[in-house]
Structure 1
Amino acid sequence: MWKKRLKIFLINAEQILVSILVLVPVVWIIMSSFNKGKNLSTASFIPKEFTLSNYVDLFTENEFGHWFVNSLSIATLNAFVSVALILLTAWVLSRFKFKGKKTGLLTLLVLSMFPSFLSMTAVYTLFVVLELVNKPIALVILYAAGAIPYNVWLVKGYIDGIPSSLDEAAYIDGSSKFNTFRKIIVPISKPIIVYCAVSQFMMPWMDYIVPNLVLSGNKNKTVAVGLYSMISTDQDANFTQFAAGAVVVAIPITIMYLIFQKFLVQGIVAGASKE
């Protein structure tokens, strides 16, 4: 009996410890956004006097509004393009037999092991030739292409779990292959589609390396690059505004997670468990 109680105690203690480790930095950032002053020396965990001036100055003294719109537009377009490419590729690899299929799958598996920024020198050179530098569409192309290797394997595993008999029944009724994909595969694959869409929507909000290299000009920055510029130098360190920006950036991501939480869990579990 005491072993069972000890096990329950240790599990609860671990959960409490992890919760503290996760929540303390989050609460600290939120509280810092309401602090007066600009740097860490004037910020405290519990503000002596709350103020909303950091949120006001965030939009009036900086180009945060442009950064936010840039990230939002890139994230939205990237989610649609990436999901379309991933879903079509996974469907073809799951449902059709053709020469080189196994080699292609292994190639995708190998490519998924390498982070996209390793090829940034070659990619940047290509963008210069194609005159895509300092254009948001360049980020969409790069993110969408980089999302294919890992996510195709994940989505293919999910589609493999959908009975082929559904496709065959549709073909017998006279449905075309693409119409079967659109009306049968896509609706059933909603959980994994939502997972891919949310993960690709988050990419532009979190990434710093690629936007910093491809985009230039203060108004063309994404929120990650723009917020970092607030604290990148000792002379221009503005931590409390940075904290306010971090809170604003977290809002759309948090809302998406709350809305699609059920689909996210279903998608990642089902996609990883199918063969």
Structure 2
Amino acid sequence: MAKKKKELYLSDRQPLNLGGVIMLVLSYAILIFWAFAILWPLSQMVISAFNGKQYDYLISNSVFEFSTIHFDYLFKETLYLTWVKNTILIAVTTAVLTILIVSFTGYAYSRFRFKGRKPSLMAIMLIQTIPSFAGITAYFTMYSILNSITPVFTRQLMLIMIYVGGGIASNTFILKGYIDSISTELDDAAKIDGCSNMQVYRLIIMPIVRPMLAIIALWSFIGPFMDYLLPSVLLTSPESYTLAAGLFTLINNRETLNQPAFAAGGLLTAIPIVILFAALQKQLVSGLAKGSVKG
């Protein structure tokens, strides 16, 4: 009897049966639908932002004619550049302070055992369960107290404190878990070579946790761009608005209603976030290999 030729496959996985084929088709159908649900609104926003035929300041299915009139309106008739400056200032300050503090707190909670460690970790976990809008009354009280002590303390500084406080509470626990996965043998080897705790932190731990710090920096930077509730409540003058609060004035008031300009502002708002994401991608890749080698 002639031996049957064995079928060769490019992997060890067996060919899909009928059920597997159905599940694969269903998975692709869900992914395609999800991609359409995301890309269609984005495409409508891009078309509306560059469509000069929408003179009625409402997004509609009018004939497309490329124009930048909505961007001109955004720069000339609104305080868009002021909102951009305010948002970038708040976002950068929030990201820098969050990274600076979280890098120390995450390292301390992971590598040191001190009195009150577990209760404070529990408190950090509980703080994450409290929504930010639930503390609006407390924020106003804190602002009144601090502003009475020093008039230099502005509402924007109060907003930065809220963002940094929330970032520390959530990211400390995340970074601690990340550092816990790093072997303490690296710390011991460095200490044998004469490194202090600070040198271990700077030369060993920091390069390894750089990918996680990059993610935390990205989250902290994006927060002020995406948040509308707190800026709209705490900031009272249009000159102090962030982008989310400022752009919302273009769609919530009949006198200033301009939906295409709002779409144009949304497109421009994404530019700093995309630039930061592209810059941090290098850190996400290069940080994985550095720091694990002692020396």
Q: 1:176 to 1:193 in 2, by over 3 A?
A: same
Amino acid at match of 2:57: N
Amino acid at match of 1:81: L
C-alpha displacement of 1:25 = 0.9
Give CA deviations for 1:35-85 in whole Å, capped at 9, x if unaligned: 232432xx3357422210111111111110010011011111110100111
Matched, 1:50 2:66: yes
What is the TM-score when the length of structure 1 is the normalising length? 0.90
State the match for 1:270 in structure 2.
none
Q: CA RMSD in A?
A: 2.1
Q: 1:38 to 1:227 in 2, by over 3 A?
A: farther
3-state SS of paired residue (2:249): helix
State the match for 1:149 in structure 2.
169
Identify unmatched segments of 5+ residues in structure 1.
268-275
Amino acid at match of 1:255: I
Identity of aligned residues (%): 34
Matches within 5 A, 1:231-246: 231-246=251-266
3-state SS of paired residue (1:170): helix
The match for 1:118 among 127, 134, 137 is 134
State the match for 1:226 in structure 2.
246
3-state SS of paired residue (1:114): coil
The answer to whether the Cα contact below 8 Å between 1:54 and 1:244 also exists between their aligned partners in 2 is: yes
Give CA deviations for 1:198-253 in whole Å, capped at 9, x if unaligned: 00000110111211222222221100010001111223211111110000001121
C-alpha displacement of 1:33 = 0.8
The match for 1:139 among 159, 171, 175 is 159
Identify unmatched segments of 5+ residues in structure 2.
1-16, 288-295
The match for 1:170 among 190, 193, 203 is 190
2:68 and 2:208 map into 1 onto residues whose CA distance is: 46
C-alpha displacement of 1:117 = 2.0
Matches within 5 A, 1:175-254: 175-254=195-274
3-state SS of paired residue (1:230): coil
Q: 1:114 to 1:80 in 2, by over 3 A?
A: same
1:266 and 1:237 map into 2 onto residues whose CA distance is: 46
Q: 1:230 to 1:154 in 2, by over 3 A?
A: same
Matched, 1:93 2:109: yes
- The total of aligned residue pairs comes to 265
State the match for 1:39 in structure 2.
57
The answer to whether the Cα contact below 8 Å between 2:210 and 2:284 also exists between their aligned partners in 1 is: no
Question: Counting helix residues as a fraction of each chain, which structure ranks higher?
Answer: 1
C-alpha displacement of 1:153 = 1.2
The answer to whether the Cα contact below 8 Å between 1:82 and 1:148 also exists between their aligned partners in 2 is: yes
State the match for 2:3 in structure 1.
none
Q: 1:133 to 1:239 in 2, by over 3 A?
A: farther
The answer to whether the Cα contact below 8 Å between 2:143 and 2:155 also exists between their aligned partners in 1 is: no
2:171 and 2:271 map into 1 onto residues whose CA distance is: 25
Matches within 5 A, 1:252-267: 252-261=272-281
**Rg larger for:** 2
Give CA deviations for 1:237-270 in whole Å, capped at 9, x if unaligned: 1111111000000112123334435766999xxx
